[in-house]
Amino acid sequence: MRIAILSDSHDNLPNIEKALDWISRENIKFIIHCGDLAAPSVLSQVIMPKFSGEFHFVHGNVGDPELLEKVAKNFPNVKIHGEIGKIEVDGKKIAFTHFPEKAQELAKKGTFDLVFYGHTHKPWEEKIGQTRLVNPGTLAGMFYKATFAVYDTETDKLELKILERI
């Protein structure tokens, strides 16, 4: 299964829509969002009308968590994980959070195959023990080019997608 990993979208509607259009064309049915989704209306009026697959997200440091949770309850395919998400997909143990420090702590435990995070807006990948620690960058394109990642659970391949090139 292919999973799109997004972070730090910061209500950049054109970038969110472009990424979702590509994700739809690629028939990707699973998204992880590592925080700073921001306005609840983006979830209800932009993301959910374009994406019907599983959408998992954590809170960042932008936006009102209570409002996001209230809106998310209207969509059965949306799962809110609070500050840290922990899931298993096709036998791969995955954790995700917004903050790099928490992500490093999770990776150091050695219990996850992958740990995704955001906040810095900088695409990054490193290995801590057997765990891949990955930041997909910023979908908003703030401070760095707009990016997101795609992970394939079958091939264990991770790709960085630069939004202006898709």
Q: Can you say whether the dihedral through the CA atoms of 132, 146, 51, 157 is positive or negative?
A: negative
CA geometry: angle 122, 60, 133, nearest 5 deg: 45
> Can you give the pTM of this predicted structure?
0.97
Domain count, the chain: 1
8-58: pLDDT as tens digits: 999 999 999 999 999 999 999 999 999 999 899 999 999 999 999 999 999
**Which two three-digit tokens encode residue 9?**
């979208």
106-161: pLDDT as tens digits: 999 999 999 999 999 999 999 999 999 999 999 999 999 999 999 999 999 999 99
Print the domain residue range for 108.
2-165
* CATH number of 69's domain: 3.60.21.10
Please name which of 72, 74, 85, 32 lies closest in space to residue 54, comparing C-alpha atoms: 32
